[in-house]
């Protein structure tokens, strides 16, 4: 397994380096080429004898060196000296390339350099870890389990069916560089940056404009905490703590000085420390010590370097729009698209999202290439008048959405599923109508519900009677993929979806 140009199990790689040095003999050019790609294409199998010098042996034999012309004869002593010079040159090139492998240059938008040992991930092997296989073992016995068990040896590749929800938020602080890289490692073909703005109108990646108090360390930095819209007031034991910190409270420079943490808070905290220390027990703080916050533009550069597609969500502002009387919703929506255009990203690789149908309609008309695959996030389930089983309560209807130019709709998982009379999970009326209208469906969010032994809560609420173990999420995923016909699903741990999609050829 390759890891940043060297093998994760410390296999020798000298023959790969030597062959590479012949292909690109100039050291400065060699270091500019992604080393992982070169070693991948030239690397030998584990335990195969080292043969790099054999490929050069003709060059090192006396007969292979020029013996000169009749007018300029070369003596045996001169020939020996040429042998020595050739070996010295090869040794120097090897030294340079080994150094290049040890210190890989940073990707664009990657201020930390190659911190994860993954310089160019195009075609790089996907790493799933143990969780998908744990879930397979936890499934109820049946044909689906037997099918999935046959896939546990891979190989696994990246798939657009697997979408990194805010990166890989099950174990990494959401919307951090570390979370995004983890999602790409696990085979997510599309990764999400939720987009909002700072006080100086720079676009940044956050799930909400006003979630800094739960997703970053802002409360631990007194000079920045003092800028929060609602300063921290601790709980007195009967009244919960209160605080609200927004990206629009800070400049971009101030925002970038923060560190991401797992999204959590203890509303009964009597101190800042107690309030911040609240990560759920099904998550972890192992990777939350140094979460790197990103601008939207930086996320674009990072995703380009990772070889994944983009699904930015334009978040509803928590401040009144027009912001400061002159920054309109349309300018905000356009600014997000403009950053892709400035980065030279094809519209075909971007799935712009919004819960605000007017944003989607704006892209359809103002930026038709991006609007063609803009995603309407359906949050109408929060409307008391909305009944997912009664199409007459859906305003607009599925057909009306299509008439407006919408091609992709994205509801939460529970809107797409129901139980039949035999307690089998089946597509809901909502799902059937959406497909009948010609809409593609993306859904959210797998691996966000904690332990499923108690029914799975919100995302499983329409089928909760048959959900009683973590392995059930693969059964649900199978119904969504095979019966509902979704084209992709957001997950807090993309490896689970990547495994399933590879097994089923999605």
Q: What is the 3-state secondary structure (H, E, C) of 256-321?
A: HCCEECCCCCCCCCCCHHHHHCCCCCCCCCCCCCCEEECEHHHHHHHHHHHCCEECCEECCCCCCC
* Between residues 314 and 85, the one the model is more confident about: 314
Alpha-carbon span 116 to 105, nearest angstrom: 12
Alpha-carbon span 211 to 256, nearest angstrom: 15
Sheet bearing 488-491, strands edge to edge: 203-205, 194-197, 313-314, 353-354, 375-377, 408-410, 440-446, 488-491, 159-164, 188-191, 309-310
Q: Which residue has the tokens 């990194």?
A: 164
Mean pLDDT over all residues of the chain? 83
Are 179 and 167 in contact, with CB atoms under 8 Å apart?
Answer: yes
| Region 311-332 average pLDDT | 97
Are 194 and 206 in contact, with CB atoms under 8 Å apart?
Answer: yes
| Region 6-27 average pLDDT | 34
Are 10 and 44 in contact, with CB atoms under 8 Å apart?
Answer: no
- Provide, for the chain, the percentages of residues in helix, strand and coil under a 3-state DSSP scheme, each rounded to the nearest 5: 40, 15, 45
> Angle 296-306/177-185 helices, nearest 10 degrees?
20
E strands present in 132-264: 159-164, 188-191, 194-197, 203-205, 230-233, 242-244, 259-260
335: nearest Cα among 177, 201, 209, 207: 201
At residue 38, the pLDDT reads 33
At residue 454, the pLDDT reads 87
The enclosing H or E element of 419 equals strand 417-419
Contacts of residue 348, Cβ cutoff 8 Å, sequence gap at least 6: 369, 373
| Region 255-271 average pLDDT | 98
Q: Given a cut of 80, is residue 278 above it in pLDDT?
A: yes
At residue 229, the pLDDT reads 98
Contacts of residue 232, Cβ cutoff 8 Å, sequence gap at least 6: 213, 219, 225, 241, 242, 243, 272, 275
Q: Given a cut of 50, is residue 65 above it in pLDDT?
A: no
| Region 365-377 average pLDDT | 98
Query: From the CB of residue 106, how many other CB atoms can be counted at a distance below 10 Å?
Result: 14
Q: Given a cut of 50, is residue 37 above it in pLDDT?
A: no
Alpha-carbon span 126 to 186, nearest angstrom: 6
Are 374 and 406 in contact, with CB atoms under 8 Å apart?
Answer: yes
Q: How many helices (H) and strands (E) does the chain have?
A: 20, 21
At residue 146, the pLDDT reads 98
Percent of the chain with pLDDT over 70: 75
Q: Given a cut of 80, is residue 14 above it in pLDDT?
A: no
Alpha-carbon span 355 to 90, nearest angstrom: 59
* Between residues 47 and 309, the one the model is more confident about: 309
* Between residues 394 and 100, the one the model is more confident about: 394
* Between residues 91 and 419, the one the model is more confident about: 419
203: nearest Cα among 115, 64, 80, 334: 334
Q: Which residue has the tokens 């709980």?
A: 235
Q: How far is CA 374 from CA 71, 313, 366, 417, in A?
A: 74, 10, 12, 23
At residue 41, the pLDDT reads 35
Q: Given a cut of 50, is residue 359 above it in pLDDT?
A: yes
Are 315 and 206 in contact, with CB atoms under 8 Å apart?
Answer: yes
DSSP assignment of 329-374 equals: HHHHHHHHHHHHHHTT--GGGB--EES-HHHHHHHHHHSHHHHTT-
Q: Given a cut of 60, is residue 382 above it in pLDDT?
A: yes
Q: Which residue has the tokens 């944003």?
A: 359
Architecture of domain 131-200+293-504: Alpha-Beta Barrel (3.20)
Q: Given a cut of 90, is residue 16 above it in pLDDT?
A: no
Q: Given a cut of 90, is residue 61 above it in pLDDT?
A: no
> Angle 357-366/329-342 helices, nearest 10 degrees?
50
At residue 88, the pLDDT reads 55
At residue 31, the pLDDT reads 35
| Region 154-183 average pLDDT | 97
* Between residues 29 and 127, the one the model is more confident about: 127
Phi-psi region of 117 (alpha: psi -120 to 50; beta: other; left: phi over 0): left
| Region 385-404 average pLDDT | 97
Q: Which residue has the tokens 């497909």?
A: 435
* Between residues 61 and 280, the one the model is more confident about: 280
The enclosing H or E element of 222 equals helix 222-225
Rounded to 5 degrees, what are φ and ψ at 259?
A: -120, 140
Q: Which residue has the tokens 């009948």?
A: 436
Residues carrying CATH 3.20.20.190, the chain:
131-200+293-504
Write out pLDDT tens, residues 211-248. 999 999 999 999 999 999 999 999 999 999 999 999 99
Are 437 and 402 in contact, with CB atoms under 8 Å apart?
Answer: yes
415: nearest Cα among 400, 394, 437, 436: 394
Alpha-carbon span 146 to 160, nearest angstrom: 25
Band of the pLDDT at 29, cuts 50, 70, 90? very low
At residue 90, the pLDDT reads 55
């Amino acid at each position: 397994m390759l890891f940043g140009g060297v093998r994760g199990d410390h296999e020798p790689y000298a023959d790969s380096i030597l062959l590479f040095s012949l292909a690109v003999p100039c050291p400065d050019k060699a270091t500019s080429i992604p080393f992982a790609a070169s070693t991948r294409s030239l690397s030998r199998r584990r335990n195969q004898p080292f043969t790099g010098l054999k490929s050069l042996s003709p060059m090192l034999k006396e007969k292979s060196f020029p013996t000169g012309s009749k007018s300029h004869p070369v003596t045996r002593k001169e020939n020996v000296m040429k042998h020595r010079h050739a070996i010295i040159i090869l040794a120097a090139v090897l030294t340079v390339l080994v150094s290049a492998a040890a210190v890989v240059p940073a990707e664009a938008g990657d201020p930390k350099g190659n911190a994860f040992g993954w310089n160019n991930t195009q075609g790089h092997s996907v790493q799933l870890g143990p969780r998908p296989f744990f879930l397979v073992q936890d499934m109820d016995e049946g044909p689906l389990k037997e099918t999935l068990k046959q896939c546990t040896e891979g190989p696994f590749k990246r798939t657009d069916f697997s979408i990194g929800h805010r990166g890989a938020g099950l174990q990494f602080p959401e919307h951090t560089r570390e979370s995004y890289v983890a999602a790409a490692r696990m085979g997510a073909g599309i990764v999400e940056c939720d987009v909002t703005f700072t006080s100086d109108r720079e676009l940044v990646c956050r799930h909400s404009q006003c979630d800094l108090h739960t997703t970053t360390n802002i409360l631990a930095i007194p000079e920045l905490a003092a800028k929060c819209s609602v300063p921290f007031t601790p709980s007195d034991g009967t009244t919960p703590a209160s605080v609200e910190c927004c990206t629009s409270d800070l400049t971009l420079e101030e925002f970038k000085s923060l560190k991401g943490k797992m999204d959590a808070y203890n509303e009964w905290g009597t101190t800042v420390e107690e309030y911040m220390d609240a990560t759920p027990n099904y998550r972890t703080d192992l990777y939350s010590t140094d979460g790197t916050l990103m601008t939207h533009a930086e996320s674009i550069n990072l995703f380009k370097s990772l070889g994944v597609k983009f699904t930015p969500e334009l978040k509803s502002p928590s401040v009144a729009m027009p912001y400061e009387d002159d920054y309109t919703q349309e300018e905000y929506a356009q600014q997000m698209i403009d950053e892709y255009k400035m980065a030279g990203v094809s519209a075909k690789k971007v799935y712009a999202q919004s819960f605000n149908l007017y944003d989607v309609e704006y892209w359809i008309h103002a930026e038709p290439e991006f609007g063609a695959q803009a995603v309407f996030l359906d949050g109408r389930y929060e409307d008391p008048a909305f009944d997912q089983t009664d199409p007459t309560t859906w305003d607009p209807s599925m057909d009306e959405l299509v008439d407006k130019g919408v091609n992709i709709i994205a509801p939460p998982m529970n809107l797409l599923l129901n139980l039949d009379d035999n307690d089998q999970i089946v597509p809901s009326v909502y799902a059937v109508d959406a497909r009948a209208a010609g809409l593609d469906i993306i859904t959210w969010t797998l691996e966000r519900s904690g332990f499923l032994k108690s029914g799975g809560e919100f995302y499983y609420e329409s089928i909760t009677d048959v959900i009683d173990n973590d392995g059930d999420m693969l059964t649900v995923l199978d119904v969504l993929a095979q019966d509902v016909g979704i084209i992709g699903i957001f997950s807090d741990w993309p490896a689970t979806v990547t495994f399933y999609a590879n097994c089923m050829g999605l």
